[in-house]
A and B are shown apart, each in its own frame.
Chain A
Amino acid sequence: MNEVVCSINHVVKCLTDAGVTPDLANLLTIIGGVVLVATVPLITVIFLIWIERKVAARVQDRLGPNRVGPFGLLQTVADALKMLTKEDITPIGADKFIYNLAPIIAFATVILIWAVIPFTPLHIGADLSIGLLYFVAVASIGTVKIMIAGWSSNNKYALLGAFRTIAQLLSYEVPLVLSLLIPVMIAGTMSMQGLVHAQGGMWYVFMAPVAAVMFFIANLAETGRAPFDLLEAESEIIAGYNIEYSGFKWGMFMAGEFMHAFTASLLAAVIFLGGWWGPGVEQVPVLGFLYLGLKTFVVYLFSLVLRSTVPRVRIDQLMALNWKWLVPISVANVLVTAFLLQLTKALGLAPQTGDFAAALPQTIILLLGNLAIVLVVLNLVRNIGRNERMAAAATDAAVGHSEDERVAVGAPGH
C-alpha cells in the first residue's frame, strides 16, 4: 500500500523501534488515520459553503460573497468566527442533554460515512466487506438526530418539522437502497474499493443509468436539498426541527447538511462514476484523488444549480413522487437488470476480463433495458398528463358553457 498506509506501516515500525509496544503503536496509527480521514470533510466544508453561495448567487444574477479575502474566499471563516461569539440560547423546557446531543450526532453521522470512501486505489479509511451497507446504516442513524432535535426543543413547529422530515427521509431511503442493489448485483461485492475496481472496464452510470438517476434523486431528498428542502420550509414551519437552535449548535446542523450534500455527490461518484478511475491512475495512484474530486464536483455542481432553479415540492407531492413513481420504477429496474444479467451470462457475453472491450456487450444490453424502462415511464407520464389535461379541459368547458349561457341570458341584445 502507498503513502498513507505505507507511512502508517512505517509509523508502526518507527514506534515499535522507539520502544512502544506493538498494540499501542497500532492504536496510535489508527487514531492518526481517523483524524486524517475526518479532517478532509472538515476542511472541504469551509470551501463548500463558499462555492454554494457563489453558485447560487451567479444563478440568481448576483455577485455573492466578494469582500472577505480574495473572491470572498474567507467569508465562511468570518462567519464561523462570528458564530463562535454568538450567544447560545437553550429554550425553557428543553430536554437539555438531548438538546445538546442532537447537533453532535448530526455532524458525527456525516463524518462517519467518510470512513469507507476510497480516495485512491490505496487510500481508504476502512475497506469493509459491507462498505455499501455501512453507508446506508450510518445514514439511517441520521433520522435519529432529527427526531431528538425536534422533540427536545419543546416547540410545536420543531416537532412538526421533525416528523415531516422523518417521513421524508424514511420514504426516500427505499428507492435509495433499491438502486444500490444494482451495482451490487453487477459487481458481486459490497466493499467500496471492490465496487470501484469492478468499474475498471465500464462506469456503472452507463450500465445502470436508471439506478444512477434514482440514487441521485433519492440522495437529494435524503440530504434535504431543493426541490426536497421541506425540512426547512421557512414559510410553513419556520426552519423546522432546528428552529430553537442558535450559535454554533445551529452551525453544526448547517455544516452537517452542507457536508452531507457533498458526501452524497461523492458517493454517487464512487458508486456510479468509477470513483478514482482515470488515465494513469494505476501508475500514480495519488492521481485518483484528483479524478474523484473532479467527478464529485461535477455531480455537486449539478445539484447546486438544481437547488437554485427549481421550486420546492409540497409534502403530498413529495410522498406521491416517491411511492408512486420512484419505488415502482426502482423495483422494475431491479427485475429488468437481474433478468438481463442472467441473459448475458447465458449468452456468454458476461465480461471475463476487466477492460473496456470485454464490458461493452453487456453494457449495451443493460443500456437497452434501461432505455426500455425510461420509454415506458415517459409514456406513462405522457398518458397520465394527457388524461389530466383532458379532464381539466372537460370541466373548464362545462364551466365555460354555463357562463356563456349566463351571459346570453343576462345580455339578450348581445
Chain B
Amino acid sequence: MLEFNAQTIAFIVFALFSLGGALGVVTTRNLIHATLYLILSLFGAAGFFVLLSAPFLAAVQVLVYIGAIAILIVFAVMLTRSMTRISDLYNRQWLLSAIVAGILFVVLLAGVIVPVWGVNGTQIDRPVSDVVAGTVDLGKALVDQNQYVLPFEVASLLLTAAMIGAIVIARDDQE
C-alpha cells in the first residue's frame, strides 16, 4: 500500500534524520556532538509535523526545541566541567535505564496506537487535521471557557513556577 511519491520520500528522509540523530545522541562520547545529533533528530520531528499538516507545531518545534532547548543544553554542558570528557560509553546503571526506557517505549507506543487503530487494528479514526482545522481554531479553543481556558492559564502559572524554581536553584548555587 506504500505509494512512492514526494510525501513518502520526505517521510523516509525525516525518519532517517530523526532516528539517525537519536542513535548519534546515545552513541557519541562528545556531549556537544550529542547536542548536534539531537538538533538533527528534532529537525526530523519538525518535518513530521509538516507532513501531518500541522505547520504551526513544526515552527514551534524549531523555535523552542532547536532555538532554545538545544542551546540551553549546551549552556548546561559548559557549566558542568567534569562532564566534558567522557571516557566510558556506559555507566553502572545501563541495565536499569535500558529496562525503564523499554517500558516507557511500550507504554507510549500503546498510547499512540490503541486510540487510533484500536486493539484489533480495525478502528481507524479520522486524522487529527480533519478534526482541528488550523491555528486559528487552536487560538479560539485556548481561550474558550467551555474548552481549554483553564489549562491555558495553568500553563502560564506552571511556566512562572518553573522560572522561579530555576532562579532559586541557580542563585543558591552561586552563593
Contacts and interface: CB of A to CB of B under 8 A. Distances in A.
Q: Do chains A and B touch in the complex (CB under 8 A)?
A: yes
Interface of A: 23, 27, 98, 128-130, 133-134, 136-138, 140-141, 143-144, 147-148, 151, 163, 166, 170, 173, 188, 190
Contacts of B60: 133, 137
Interface string B130-150: 000011100000000000000
Nearest to B77: A151
A140 B5 CA distance: 31
23 contacts: A23-B5, A98-B32, A98-B33, A98-B36, A128-B55, A129-B55, A129-B135, A130-B135, A136-B63, A137-B60, A137-B62, A137-B67, A140-B66, A140-B68, A143-B67, A143-B71, A144-B71, A147-B71, A147-B74, A148-B36, A163-B75, A163-B78, A173-B67
Contacts of A141: 62, 66-67
B6 interface: yes
Contact of A140 (B33, B56, B63, B134): B63
A128 B135 CA distance: 12
Contacts of B70: 144
A6 B75 CA distance: 49
Contacts of B124: none
B39 A137 contact: no
B148 to A, nearest CB: 19
Given A27-B6, A140-B67, 10 more contacts: A23-B6, A130-B59, A134-B59, A140-B62, A140-B68, A141-B62, A147-B74, A148-B32, A148-B36, A190-B135
A318 to B, nearest CB: 18
A136 B135 CA distance: 17
Contacts of B75: 163
A180 to B, nearest CB: 12
A148 B74 CA distance: 10
Contacts of A173: 67
Contacts of A133: 56, 59-60, 63
A33 to B, nearest CB: 15
A173 B62 CA distance: 14
Interface in B25-78: 32-33, 36, 39, 55-56, 59-60, 62-63, 66-68, 70-71, 74-75, 78
A197 B23 CA distance: 46
A170 B5 CA distance: 39
Nearest to B30: A95
Contacts of B59: 130, 133-134, 136-137
Contacts of A128: 55
Contacts of B78: 163
B113 to A, nearest CB: 29
B71 A170 contact: yes
Contacts of A148: 32, 36
Interface string B67-101: 11011001100100000000000000000000000
A188 B33 CA distance: 41
Contacts of A136: 59, 63
Contacts of A188: 136
- Name the residue among A23, A141, A163 with the largest chain B CB count within 10 angstroms: A141
A240 B63 CA distance: 25
A144 B74 CA distance: 10
B56 A137 contact: no
- Name the residue among A137, A170, A173 with the largest chain B CB count within 10 angstroms: A137
A23 B4 CA distance: 12
A138 B43 CA distance: 11
Nearest to A147: B74
Contacts of B39: 144
- Name the residue among B32, B39, B71 with the largest chain A CB count within 10 angstroms: B71
Interface in B120-166: 134-136
Going nearest first, the 5 A-B pairs with the smallest beta carbon separation are: A140-B67, A137-B62, A133-B59, A137-B63, A137-B59
A170 B68 contact: yes
A173 B55 CA distance: 21
A173 B63 CA distance: 10
B71 A151 contact: no
A208 B59 CA distance: 25
A166 B63 CA distance: 14
Contacts of A130: 55-56, 59, 135
A143 B67 CA distance: 7
Nearest to B46: A137
B71 A166 contact: yes
A163 B62 CA distance: 20
Nearest to A136: B63
A43 B45 CA distance: 34
- Name the residue among B33, B66, B67 with the largest chain A CB count within 10 angstroms: B67
- Name the residue among A136, A147, A170 with the largest chain B CB count within 10 angstroms: A147
A151 B67 contact: no
Contacts of A144: 39, 66-67, 70-71
B83 to A, nearest CB: 15
Given A23-B6, A129-B135, A130-B135, A151 B32 contact: yes
Contacts of A134: 59
- Name the residue among B5, B55, B134, B136 with the largest chain A CB count within 10 angstroms: B55
A206 B55 CA distance: 30
- Name the residue among B55, B59, B71, B136 with the largest chain A CB count within 10 angstroms: B59
A147 B78 CA distance: 11
